[in-house]
Structure 1
Amino acid sequence: MLHRLDPVLTQSVQQGSTMSSLSDQLTTLNVWPSVAPGKVTTEKEEHIFGARDVTRAHHVSVPQLTLYPAPGSSAENPAPAVMVAPGGGYSILAYDLEGSEVCTWLNDLGFTAVLLKYRVPDNREGALMDAQRSMGLIRQHAAEWNIDANRLGVIGFSAGGHLSAMLSTHYAKRTYDKLDAADELSCKPDFTMLVYPAYLNDEDGSLKAECPVDGNTPPAIIVQTQDDHLTIDGAIAYYKVLVANKVMTELHLYPYGGHGYGLREGEHAVSTAWPKLFGAWLRDNFMK
């Protein structure tokens, strides 16, 4: 049983691939048709609760996608889409701060959003499997969900930013045995958006070898603050290697703002500036 404080998302979760509509017409889809491959943490029951004004998902063993359709999208007018990967240190998922609130913002920009609930805790390999399969599933359901499968990106925050960068550099081959037609479709994002991405750099500040950027890596936009000392080197390293490979990219660096602000307005400029900058980048490059 999954417990959520947010009544909009209240639902019991069943194992299996059944897709169901929530009472508010949000649609959920289990990422895997049965038990997920690789490591699955099941010793504790999955639950979602609020702490310090953030709704947190714990002990996720059944990865899911939740669809937030763009207003006005239709078969004749499919919308570009973004898969949303919340952060939480690969321990929890900041499910509203870096998840559902981001989906609503994307809807306001004219994008369909798909919220990824990936496996936690301590399961980076499983999370990448979840993300790869999810991109294939979104493309498989593109016609049904009124999505333009050729304008499908990813946005990630903190650990979700790391996951998004990994997805953007590990799309040529699935990291699990293919199951069905969804796994025959590309899992490559058409664009990548990283907000204070974590875990990208080695001790010397260089980009980790696990993120093999090349000239085919998707275009990216990154926001980072200088006082976020744990993530600044990785954000800059990813940007520099993209530039070296002549990949279209932007890095927006602010002196103050820390970590974990999401879309919520704070005392520093970054919290209100980055959504406008990202929105302009999306409109300029990925809206028809």
Structure 2
Amino acid sequence: MNNIRLSGVCPISLRRYIVAGLALIFSVGFAAFVAPKHREAALPSKQTSAAQPDRQLVGVWTPPAGLVQEPIWPGAAPNSSLERGKAETVLTRWTPEALAGDTSQAVFNVSIPTMTIFPPKGHSTRAAIVVFPGGGFSAVVITSEGTEICKWLAEQGITCILSKYRVPYTGHHWDENCNCGVVPASPNALQDAQRTLRLVRSRATELGIDSTKIGAMGFSAGGYLTAQVSNIFKLAYRPVDKIDQVSSRPDFAIALYPGHICRPGRRIDPDLHVSRSAPPTFLAQAWDDQVDDICNALLYANALDQEGVPAEVHLFARGGHGFNLRKGKNASAPWPTLLQSWLRSIDIIG
């Protein structure tokens, strides 16, 4: 396992450690696709307050002041006829732990996918990262796994591109009708992810970035999207313009508490054919994640290793699901520092 760097364990016999870890996971049961938990994961943690109730309003999400949200498709998105036609809505929840302000938002019924560019602050590293928030392919958790992440990356001198991809039912998701995981007829979220990476690379000169330093970063369901774009290079849609001749392969990948990879039977997603052309990858997940089992990170790391792709894996004792940049006492809190060190080690930042 020369290609896996695994934190928190002795480097001797790492393969035995992973096998033992998988055995432990499987002995406690498979919990990655429990519908109620995935719905909760789509939202910021709820703080009950009669004075500050949740607000879900019809309307298009608005990016932070001074930033522009732009459509990623020149016309209608592929397979747009499959969309259910509901208007986009934004849920606002009171979250005093937010990094800016005291609310967080999640976006539902996205039919016009967009990207929002956060330019670097101060010195530019000329690197860029496309961020895919989570939400179980039911919503896009746009604040804690989107704008807050992009603002932090911009402070590190990295151009951040926030993806608001299509939802719902646009990726592997839980269906309460059959009480099972369902693969959609059209992979609309993957289409949007590929298109966004192509757009960013095609505009590298305009954005002041190095076209060989464009990464993908995802959280939860967004982590699954990151794994998909890291291995699925064939167009998931019919080309619409010259931009679709540009590569969608990220040059590096970051997946935090990924889901949807570990399927029933404790097997990796059969549609995710891990390639030796996958980029170097940073993975982080917590043992006490009750939404997406840690087998998601372990199975993916092992598959990358089998193809000779370097992966850095951090497994935290505590952190649950949805650990992000917000302050807490969980063991997962150091992940931003660990990520910075990894990005330096692969020459993405100085």
Could you tell me how far 1:231 is from its partner in structure 2?
2.7
Is 1:208 the counterpart of 2:258? The answer is: no
The alpha carbon displacement at 1:47 in A equals: 2.0
Cα shift at 1:178: 0.4
Match of 1:20 in 2: none
Cross-structure match for 2:160: 113
Higher relative contact order (CA 8 A, sep 6+): 2
CA shift for structure 1 position 283: 2.1
Distance 1:200 1:188, change over 3 A: same
2:59 corresponds to: 2
User: How far is 1:110 from its partner?
Assistant: 1.4
Report Cα offsets for 1:171-219 as digits up to 9, x if no partner.
1x10111011110000000011000000101223222121111211111
Q: Percent identity?
A: 35
Query: What SS class does the counterpart of residue 153 from structure 1 fall into?
Result: strand
Match for residue 60 of structure 1? 110
Match of 1:238, SS state, is helix
- Pick which of 25-34 and 241-250 moved more: 25-34
Q: 1:153 touches 1:190 (CA, 8 Å); kept in 2?
A: yes
* SS at structure 2 position matched to 1:280: helix
Which amino acid letter does the alignment assign opposite residue 29 of structure 1? E
1:66 & 1:228 partners in 2: Cα distance?
30
One-letter amino acid matched to 1:2 = G
Question: What is the deviation of 1:52?
Answer: 5.4
Conserved? CA contact 2:121–2:156, under 8 Å: no
2:284 is paired with a residue of what secondary structure?
Answer: strand
Q: Aligned equivalents of 1:78 and 1:133: distance in 2? A: 23
2:208 aligned residue? 146
Query: What is the one-letter code of the residue matched to 1:234?
Result: N
Of residues 30, 34, 38 in structure 1, which corresponds to 2:79? 38
Q: 1:99 aligns with which of 130, 146, 159?
A: 146
Q: Which residues of 2 match residues 166-245 of structure 1 at below 5 A?
A: 166-171=228-233, 173-229=234-290, 230-245=292-307
Deviations 1:242-283 (A, max 9, x none): 11221111110011111012211223120x211111111112
Q: Secondary structure at the match of 2:228?
A: helix
Where does residue 21 of structure 1 map in the other structure? Answer: none
Amino acid of the structure 2 residue aligned with 1:80: A
Rounded Cα–Cα distance in structure 1 between residues aligned with 2:226 and 2:143: 18
Aligned to 1:13: none
2:170 paired with 1:123 = yes
What's 2:70 paired with?
A: 29
Q: Does the C-alpha gap of structure 1 residues 3 and 30 become closer, same or farther in structure 2, counting only changes over 3 Å?
A: closer
How many angstroms does 1:78 deviate by? Answer: 6.6
In structure 1, what is the equivalent of residue 224 of structure 2?
162
Alignment coverage as a number of residue pairs: 267
Which of the pair has more CA radius of gyration?
A: 2
Distance in 1 (alpha carbons) for counterparts of 2:277 and 2:226: 15
2:325 corresponds in structure 1 to 263
Match of 2:131 among 76, 84, 103: 84
CA distance in 1, matches of 2:322, 2:202: 32
Q: Which amino acid aligns with 1:43?
A: G
In structure 1, distance between residues paired with 2:60 and 2:159 = 25
* Distance in structure 2 (CA, Å) of the matches to 1:194 and 1:144: 27
For residues 60 and 166 of structure 2, what CA distance do their matches in structure 1 show?
16
Judge which range, 50-59 or 161-170, deviates more. Answer: 50-59
Task: State the 1:158 CA deviation.
Answer: 0.3
How much has 1:46 moved relative to structure 2?
A: 0.6
Distance 2:223 2:199 in 1: 20
Partner AA of 2:216 in structure 1:
V
Query: 1:88/1:52 Cα in 2 relative to 1: closer, same or farther (>3 Å)?
Result: farther
CA distance in structure 1 between the partners assigned to 2:142 and 2:328 by the alignment? 19
| Letter aligned with residue 160 of structure 1 | G
Q: Give the deviation of 1:42 after TM superposition.
A: 4.6
SS at match of 1:176: coil
> Residue 317 of structure 2 contacts residue 331 of structure 2 at CA under 8 Å; is this kept in 1?
no
- Compute the TM-score of the two structures, normalised by the length of structure 1: 0.88
Q: Are the equivalent residues in 2 in contact too, given 1:41–1:60 (CA < 8 A)?
A: no
Question: Deviating runs (4+, > 4 A) in structure 1?
Answer: none
- Following TM superposition, by how much is the alpha carbon of 1:121 offset from its aligned partner in structure 2, in angstroms? 0.6
Contact 1:3 1:49 in 2 (8 A): no
Gaps of 5+ in 1: 10-23
Match of 1:70 among 106, 113, 120: 120
| Residue-by-residue CA offset, 1:113-145 (whole Å, 9 max, x unaligned) | 000000001112100000111111111111111
Q: Match of 1:89, as an amino acid?
A: G
